[in-house]
Chains A and B, each alone.
Chain A
């Protein structure tokens, strides 16, 4: 992992026009992704994590969904300003995507080999023979046994885990700089999930690919991420290095996420559940969107949105609790205990 930034998102806002008005799905988020780095984006359904990645890929459903504001800077280009046609140069080439459900991202009527070869012929201008050799190599790279024979089979002849490998092979076909994985292992069993994660990490190491990994599973985040962004109601509420997020979380929503997963040793006591449901982004609340569900909410939370407070060079959180005038609030005891029981310890000045 180097310090070179490959993608920078600045003040991005994405909205959808609906019959009832404008839904502000993503509200003013900024982040960057370094070369060879994995950034995990966590959040609940409707928090805007998938919409963010769609905006990056230029896949927002026009004309309903649109980038309202902000920049997506990649090299000399600003994706936010490019037309759909101009985006095709990057989409599937520099930027590739892996979706949650491998069955819907593969064409059921096409042989697997043909689907892998498609991108190779289109973006890399290979002839049929070259593409075929390359496709077999890619399928071997994602550890599909007997790749040559599998080329002539259809997706339904593959298991879920094997299909997801095919999808990864297709994504890798054009040697992407940024790989966006939207819940790639959510539909898979734990043992298969572990294999897919291993494959992705190996590939990243070999090709220095940057990965944006969307998931709601904190175990997976701890496994794959270098940095983590936590999204809530269209905003990034906390972002930092993976150790900072797990061992020194600052935002009450992050506490809630950590607390709602049972540990292996947990037994009788109740899980720390976040009460209520996320807000309606048709009418985002005036202050902090998390305030109504936040037991530590201050008065100001209902009036003004908190800015990003800096915790360390890499760690930021948007909560008024970090303001110098706010009362000293510690994470709930169950979350503190959770962190206490982890293998990694947080030491100040780390």
Chain B
């Protein structure tokens, strides 16, 4: 992980109209940076806006307001075709459902090579095939798989195909939206190990979106916790788990069942009630301890600072 900012998200908002007068503020004024080479985890419960954030960053949605700067350039806004192509090559996505994200009527070789074709990365058919073989081997499949169709693969294998497809255009940044949630436990570990290995070898930066907090902790360098379209806490994953400050994060962490029966018999859950907050002013995102940010009011900020270990 370096100090170089690969991605800067500035005041990003994504609102959806659900009726003539009603608007859903799926993402509301989000601010965070992703550094080159790191894995940034985004966690929260369903409906908190984590997937929408990912989709806005990669421009699957046009943001309502705010900026997404990738290497200093805004991703959002009007773009020419060549500019768009350039962005698309640098940013790729891995989806949650390995069943619906692969075209059932395309052979694996064509699925993986789609990006190669679009960006003209192979000079001839042979080179294209070789590149696909390489990619298949990189993700732990074999070259015989190239001529098969997606339905011939298990969920874990499909997810590997999805990863190979994302890698095909040599991106720098990959958004993984719940990439392991649909997989079995033993297969989850395989895919996570693969993603970590690829990160080291290909110098990738990840945005890892998930609701499984233990896996997020394991894979991420830093974690942002989202609640109702806003980031409520941001810290290194170590710090966040050891020293959660926002009551929502505390409640979320206390709800995870651990594979340890004795621990489970004594575990106490903390409830979160948004009304318990100091209502006297609008909360802001503040740095409570070094690199540990919490959405809080000035009064809460002071309290947290007093409690925080020095």
Contacts and interface: CB of A to CB of B under 8 A. Distances in A.
A275 B194 CA distance: 12
B240 to A, nearest CB: 11
Contacts of A129: none
Contact of B257 (A219, A260, A264, A275): A219
B214 A194 contact: no
Contacts of A160: 46
Contacts of B260: 222, 246, 342-344
Interface string B253-267: 001111111111011
Contact of B241 (A220, A223, A264, A272): A264
Contacts of B259: 218-219, 221-222, 246, 258, 261, 342
B304 interface: no
Given A219-B256, A277-B154, A261 B262 contact: no
A277 B214 contact: no
B251 A191 contact: yes
A120 interface: no
Contacts of B258: 219, 222, 264
A257 interface: yes
Give chain B's interface residue range (CB within 8 Å of chain A).
35 or more
Nearest to B140: A275
A272 B193 CA distance: 9
Given A222-B258, A223-B264, A344-B262, A191 B186 contact: no
A6 interface: no
A76 B213 CA distance: 47
A189 interface: yes
A225 B261 CA distance: 9
A228 B71 CA distance: 51
B175 to A, nearest CB: 21
A191 B252 contact: yes
Contacts of B114: none
B249 to A, nearest CB: 12
B215 interface: yes
A260 B186 CA distance: 6
Given A191-B45, A243-B262, A342-B260, A271 B218 contact: yes
Interface string B19-48: 000000000000000000000000001100
A263 B218 CA distance: 8
A324 interface: no
B26 to A, nearest CB: 16
Nearest to B46: A189
Nearest to A257: B185
Interface in A271-296: 271-275, 277
A44 B217 contact: no
Contacts of A216: 184-185
Contacts of A92: none
B264 A264 contact: no
A190 B185 contact: no
B193 A270 contact: yes
A215 to B, nearest CB: 10
Given A218-B259, A261-B214, A344-B261, A190 B252 contact: yes
B297 to A, nearest CB: 24
Contacts of B192: 271
Interface string A241-279: 011001100000000111111111011001111110100
A242 B257 contact: no
A84 to B, nearest CB: 32
Contacts of B186: 44, 256-257, 260, 273-274
A239 B193 CA distance: 29
Contacts of B189: 259-261, 271-274
Contacts of A272: 189
Contacts of A243: 261-262
Nearest to B154: A277
Contacts of A273: 186, 189-190, 193
Nearest to A261: B259
Contact of B255 (A190, A222, A225, A259): A190
Nearest to B192: A271
A270 B217 contact: no
A107 interface: no
Nearest to B248: A191
Interface string A23-58: 000000000000000000000110000000000000
Contacts of B154: 277
Contact of B263 (A194, A217, A344): A344
Contacts of A44: 184-187
A193 interface: yes
Nearest to B48: A189
A200 to B, nearest CB: 13
Interface of B: 45-46, 154-157, 184-190, 192-193, 196, 211, 213-215, 217-218, 238, 241, 251-252, 255-264, 266-267, 269, 272
Given A219-B258, A271-B218, A274-B189, 19 more contacts: A45-B184, A189-B211, A190-B213, A191-B251, A217-B257, A218-B259, A220-B257, A223-B267, A243-B262, A257-B186, A259-B189, A261-B214, A261-B259, A267-B238, A273-B189, A273-B193, A343-B266, A344-B260, A344-B263
**Closest 9 A/B residue pairs (Cβ):** A344-B262, A219-B257, A262-B218, A260-B189, A273-B189, A218-B259, A189-B45, A271-B189, A274-B186
16 contacts: A45-B184, A189-B211, A190-B211, A190-B255, A191-B252, A191-B272, A217-B257, A222-B259, A225-B261, A246-B260, A259-B189, A266-B218, A273-B190, A277-B157, A343-B263, A344-B263
